[in-house]
Amino acid sequence: MDKFNKIERKIVVLPFVNMSGDEELEYFSDGITEEIINALARIEHLKVTSRTSSFYFKNKNLPIKQIAEELNADAILEGSVRLAAQTIRITAQLIHAEDDFHFWSETWDRKLENIFEIQDEVSLHIAEKLREQYGHFEIQDHLVEKRTENIDAYEYFLKARFHFNKWNPVDAKTAIGLYEKAIALDPDHTDSWVGLSDAWSFFAVTELKPREEAWRKSREYMDKAYSLNPENAGVHYQLANYAFFYDADFQQALKHAIRSIELKPNYPEAQQFVSLMYIISGEKEKAKQHLEILQSIDPLSQETLFYRAYYFYRTENYTEALKLFDDCLTQNPNNVPAFIVRSYCLLKMERYNEAIDFLEKMPEEIVVHNEKTGTLCLVYILKKDKNKADEFFSELYQEAQNPGAFQAHSYLYMAYASMGKTEDAFAWLDKALKMKSSVLMLNYTDPLTNNLKSDARYRKYKSMLFFETENLEMQLNEKPPILNEETADIYTETLNRFIAEEEPFLIPNLSLRSLAEQVEIHPNKLSWLLNERMGKNFNEFINFYRIEYFKKLALDPGNRHISLIGLAYESGFNSKTVFNTYFKKETGMTPKEFLKQNGSAL
């Protein structure tokens, strides 16, 4: 058997259904879903599909098996939330994806004032049931921390996040107001400070607000969040964005992004950022590793699709890149970076007229200042249309004299490279670097600058821009076994003796945790013992004994008056489906076939 620490199981948490009878409370059911996703994502070796990909299926009545296949998932969690006055009801059920088998469900009725305790209880219970069904992983004592004493502040935070996740300026502005209300009630609510920083960085990067003002506010809020909790993954992600897009400091940006991933491995935005940093610095293998993680946790995200396409462009596989950029634009015709980099692909493929036609179709409302001008300048240079090239180059050159015109800085550098003007390219680079142009860092190693890459100065500037990326990522050494050989032998003997003498498998609601308490072994150690030493997960282990007990009862002539399912219940099963599933899995036949083979019939 492959050891579980080399296998990562994957779960999809589908959006919990709002059963409150009020559409205005949709933010709450969405918030509970996201909190459970974040809680389960803390468990090592359990991959949890990100919010973006799981929410893709919201309000879509698709078969569970289809969803599981699209997301390559082992298990699906679905549930509902009902909020009434100051009480909350949460229902949840786990489904084994391969055969659409519901193997666990539970309902909780609790007071709303205990919302964090509820989320922790639900998340821990789900984690336990996943471990019992799929194999060993270690579960912390708590998966959800109490982040505020003020329930109203928390509700404002959930509402703010609900709006911000819509990714448009109107909802982002609404989110800022709601985050501010949360902070007014609880000035120490770190997540709301992170949310404010995120919202203002959105306005800064999109330039929908004055750049300097937006970045100043974003930095102010991220500093406050950092002072409250320097180990918050979201804070480090914000610091990474600020370091790159404002300070043009590649090394600090990569350092914070990697720290963000160390704190929260299933963080798709941070994985995107790290892959981008490695792509532009030429670390293609590292970029690919993070893209693979991103693909596994957020496969349906438009951002994941874009970064995959961008990776193919940067590795000069233009045909594959073009195909994926077309997919991006099919999903979102207003995807600005997909429009631009698709144009780059056409240039590298020498399809100049097609590139011009394509750029002319770019919706005016999404054109970033100097982006279209710069791209068309490159087209006409490479097409060797001198008149048009001179016209666009003159406009670009004038724009680039503005210290804040970062797009123009980058395109002027690429224009010089495309014209083969190496001296001018490096002379301009000297000036642009002093203006802290982050866009220039994005495009420094672009394939459109290949003319410069054989020059010794190219390597020198590359070293200045990207510094050393070695040893920034935490080295993950393989953990030693949770039990040594001697202790494992003792625990195995103790467990087998307890099973034989006490027959705990006859208890229908027996759990790994309750069995661990009875044999006085920590649940994490018992989980490891069952999976690593005995080669079975908890359910397989317990149900083996239940099936053996059932066989003994079923072959006893004195039990002929009892139905098969009655005997199954007497053997510790509490579900006909579970009994039939495990009996077939264990014996390769149905219970009736077993009896017939053994010359008995009930």
Q: Report the pLDDT value the prediction gives residue 584, as an integer from 0 to 100.
A: 92
pLDDT beyond 60 at 595: yes
In this prediction, residue 476 has a pLDDT band, given cuts at 50, 70 and 90, of: very low
pLDDT, one tens digit per residue, over 520-554 is 999 999 999 999 999 999 999 999 999 999 999 99
Find all residues with CB under 8 Å of 459, minimum gap 6, and list them: none
Rounded-to-integer distance, Cα 290 and Cα 51, Å? 18
User: What per-residue confidence (pLDDT) applies to 165?
Assistant: 87
Per the structure block, which two tokens stand in for 579? 């009994």
Q: Residues 573, 562: contact at Cβ < 8 Å? A: no
Distance CA 273, CA 295 (A): 14
Residue 78, C-beta contacts closer than 8 angstroms, at least 6 positions apart: 14, 16, 17, 64, 92, 93, 95
- For the chain, the straight-line distance linking the first and the last C-alpha, in angstroms and rounded, comes to 37
> DSSP 3-state assignment of 60?
coil
Residue among 579, 488, 576, 577 at smallest CA distance from 542: 579
What's the pLDDT band for 392 if we cut at 50, 70, 90?
Answer: very high
Average pLDDT over residues 398-402: 92
Model confidence over 455-466: pLDDT tens digits? Answer: 999 999 998 888
The yes-or-no verdict on residue 473 having pLDDT over 70 is no
Displacement of CA 441 from its chain's centroid (Å): 26
Q: Which of 20-24, 52-56, 365-369 has the lowest mean pLDDT?
A: 365-369
Q: Long-range contacts of range 544-550, CB-CB < 8 Å, 24 or more positions apart?
A: 544/586, 545/499, 545/503, 545/505, 545/572, 546/505, 546/506, 546/571, 546/572, 546/573, 546/579, 546/582, 547/571, 547/582, 547/583, 547/586, 547/587, 549/503, 549/505, 549/506, 550/579, 550/583, 550/591
Taking the CB of residue 166, how many other CB atoms lie within 10 A of it? Answer: 11
Query: What are the structure tokens assigned to 466, written together?
Result: 């990207």
CB under 8 Å to 409, separation ≥6 — which residues? Answer: 400, 432, 435, 437, 439, 440
Of the listed ranges 143-157, 199-213, 503-517, 529-543, the one predicted with least confidence: 199-213
What is the pLDDT of the chain when averaged over all its residues? Answer: 91
Taking the model in full, what pTM does it have?
Answer: 0.86
User: DSSP code of 20?
Assistant: S
Could you say which DSSP state residue 533 is in? I
Asked if the model's pLDDT at residue 471 lies above 80, the reply is no
Q: What is the mean pLDDT of residues 30-46?
A: 92
pLDDT band, residue 36 (cuts 50/70/90): very high
Nearest alpha-carbon partner for 162 in 48, 71, 34: 34
Tell me the C-alpha distance between 537 and 582, whole Å.
Answer: 13
Quickly tell me which residue has 């001179």 as its tokens.
390
Per-residue tokens: 524: 């994490």
Cα(180)–Cα(178) distance, integer angstroms: 5
Tokens of 471: 């040893």
Q: Are 264 and 244 in contact (CB under 8 A)?
A: no
Tokens of 168: 């448009």
Phi, psi at 224, each rounded to 5°:
-65, -45
Model pLDDT, residue 600: 66
Q: How far apart are CA 424 and CA 237, in angstroms?
A: 36
Residue type, 196: L
Residues 6+ apart with CB under 8 A from 287: 275, 276, 278, 279, 311, 314
pLDDT digits 0-9 by tens, 361-391: 888 777 777 888 999 999 999 999 999 999 9
- 520: left (phi > 0), else alpha (psi -120 to 50), else beta? left
Q: Are residues 354 and 346 in contact, defined by beta-carbon separation less than 8 angstroms?
A: yes
* Weakest mean pLDDT among 110-124, 185-199, 467-481, 576-590: 467-481
Q: Strand 101-111 vs strand 75-84: parallel, antiparallel, or unpaired? A: unpaired
Number of Cβ within 10 Å of residue 351's Cβ equals 17
Nearest to 575 by CA among 509, 513, 519: 509
Q: How far apart are CA 110 and CA 98, in angstroms?
A: 33
| CA gap 527, 539 in Å, rounded | 11
Percentage, residues of the chain above pLDDT 70: 96
Q: What pLDDT, on a 0 to 100 scale, did the predictor assign at position 76?
A: 96
Residue 147: pLDDT over 90:
no
**DSSP bridge pairs for 92:** 79, 106
Distance of alpha carbon 166 from alpha carbon 169, whole angstroms? 9
Q: Are 261 and 271 in contact (CB under 8 A)?
A: yes
Q: Across the strands, what pairs with 9?
A: 46
pLDDT band per the 50, 70, 90 thresholds, residue 3: very low
**Which numeric CATH code is attached to 4-146?**
3.40.50.10610
Q: How many other C-beta atoms can be found within 10 angstroms of the C-beta atom of residue 465? A: 18
DSSP 550: H
User: What pLDDT is stored for residue 601 in this prediction?
Assistant: 55
- According to the model, what pLDDT value does residue 497 have? 96
pLDDT at 5 over 50: no
SS3 260: helix
The number of beta carbons lying within 10 Å of the beta carbon of residue 152 is: 13
Helix (H), strand (E) at residue 473 = none
Instruction: Using alpha carbons only, give the angle 109, 68, 537 rounded to the nearest 5 degrees.
Output: 70
Length of the chain: 602
Please check the confidence at residue 350 and state whether its pLDDT lies above 80. Answer: yes
From residue 444, give the alpha-carbon distance in Å to each of 14, 240, 313, 436.
41, 19, 14, 13
Q: What is the pLDDT of residue 400?
A: 92
Give the other-Cβ count within 10 Å of 462's Cβ: 16
Task: Please give the CATH architecture assigned to the domain spanning 485-597.
Answer: Orthogonal Bundle (1.10)
Q: Residue 106, SS3? A: strand
Q: Is the pLDDT of residue 478 over 60?
A: no
Domain spans of the chain, in order of start: 4-146, 485-597
Cα-trace Rg, the chain = 29
